[in-house]
Amino acid sequence: MERQRSFSIKSTSVFLALIITTISSAVIFFTFFSIKSNSSNANNFQIDLSPVASITETTTSLHISDSSVSPQQSPILISTHFTPPENTSGSAKIPDFEKKTRGEVSSVKVIELPSKNGEEKKKKTKKRISQECDVTNGKWVYDSDLPLYTNASCPFIDEGFACQSNGRLDLDYMKWRWEPRDCDAPRFNATKMLEMIRGKRLVFVGDSINRNQWESMLCMLFQAVKDPKRVYETHNRRITKEKGNYSFRFADYKCTVEFYVTHFLVREGKARVGKKRRETLRIDAMDRTSSRWKGANILVFNTAHWWSHYKTKSGVNYYQEGDLVHPKLDVSTAFKKALQTWSSWVDKNVDPKRTRVFFRSAAPSHFSGGEWNSGGHCREAKNLLNQTFKPSYSGKNIIVEEVLKQMKTPVTLLNVSGLSQYRIDAHPSIFGAKPENRRSQAVQDCSHWCLPGVPDTWNHFLYLHLLHKR
């Protein structure tokens, strides 16, 4: 009996042990596969990157789809809005985030994620950038590395734009750089620009504001030239306001950078009105210098500055089509007709396969207390308009866009109007002439721009377009 009881107890113990072992194994087995199952679904989640303030303006979400997505589908969708960090140090820094010029495609984007131990981990995700970068959306930042040149280092700045040489002492207007908000545009590289126009003709056509931009381009390119004597005007002309046409040759690159003056793009002339011959504007005929523009590889046009009621006689007996001199025609209608004449010339005479065409939008003036001929001034303006200022878009720019859309030849609009409206500080004012040449303190230039200055940014935009197309 004693031995039998002992066996029964041992049998019961063994039986209980087997049950406990079985239950434990089941728990472990269930737990293991639960973890594995959860991990297989871990791709279906949303990461909130809002703490990464240095690269996002608002909450940015990274959506990762399930790994079962077929190769034909796009497995990754990234919604990101980049905002450059505010400049609090007093000097500009180039942001480190994704570089993309207008329409450029980026195959990899790096997003910084904070880890639990405080260290940042890089997560690479593939993304194609389909949208274009709007370089006009941005802000002016102070950059201690500017200017790219000075009145002393560039011999091509005429007296009207050489503000420092003419006695202007506050020089901060030289040190502001336009920083696009949604893209990290590469800085202007004079050597690369010269290589892009090697063996080509870069031609600026327009009024004195375009001459302003042309002189800026000459100065920006000249800084990369090793031998100054290898840059010269092909007719030995010295740049002045009087002579209108120039062609500077950069011998080492076998290229020319040219300027042709035309206030309206169309022809200025005279016609008999009544018993007198009067000045008229032939809005149906191109400027007489247009034959010289042919064959250029890059054409940069502008007109706007002279299209005012004062300079166009308020449209009374001024605009001419054929033999007809309109007794009265409003400036907007005349401006559109003139642009249509210009666009027809471009479509007829420009080969898009060998020539790129640009049209720069209207640049603003900043007269206070009157106009250029009635005591208008801007001398006291030494600072930019602040970021609360909202730029306007002129009716002339809208007309330009309408005409460009109707052309068969591709024309790129260099839209500089909005960003230039902030720069009330950057006009020559009384420093558009040397002290001994100033006729009066009351005559101030608040239309053109000191060099170095705002037109350098316009040329940077031109450079970006050429760089991307290349």
Residue 13, domain member (yes or no): no
- Residue 429's SS3 state is strand
Which regions in the chain score pLDDT beneath 50?
Answer: 1-16, 27-131
448 is a catalytic site residue: yes
Q: Which helix (H) or strand (E) holds 345?
A: helix 331-349
Structure confidence at residue 46 (pLDDT)? 29
Structure confidence at residue 243 (pLDDT)? 73
Q: Reply yes or no: is the peptide bond before residue 180 cis, omega within 30 of 0.
A: no
* Catalytic pick among 366, 448, 460, 465: 448
Residue 146, domain member (yes or no): yes
Contact present, 252 and 229 (Cβ < 8 Å) = no
Q: Report the greatest alpha carbon distance in the chain.
A: 151
Residue 453: domain span: 136-465
Residue 309, domain member (yes or no): yes
Structure confidence at residue 22 (pLDDT)? 53
Residue 331, domain member (yes or no): yes
Residue 119, domain member (yes or no): no
Structure confidence at residue 59 (pLDDT)? 30
* Catalytic pick among 143, 208, 377, 420: 208
Whether the model clears a pTM of 0.85, i.e. scores above it, the answer is no
Structure confidence at residue 125 (pLDDT)? 31
User: In angstroms, rounded to a whole number, what is the distance separating the alpha carbons of residues 409 and 357?
Assistant: 8
11 is a catalytic site residue: no
208 is a catalytic site residue: yes
Per-residue burial over 378-401, b if 16 or more Cβ lie within 10 Å, else e, is: beebeebbeeeeeeeeeebbebbe
Q: How many domains does the chain have?
A: 1
Structure confidence at residue 84 (pLDDT)? 31
Residue 365, domain member (yes or no): yes
Residue 5, domain member (yes or no): no
* Catalytic pick among 445, 447, 456, 460: 445
Residue 335, domain member (yes or no): yes
Instruction: Please give the structure tokens belonging to residue 105.
Output: 């495609």
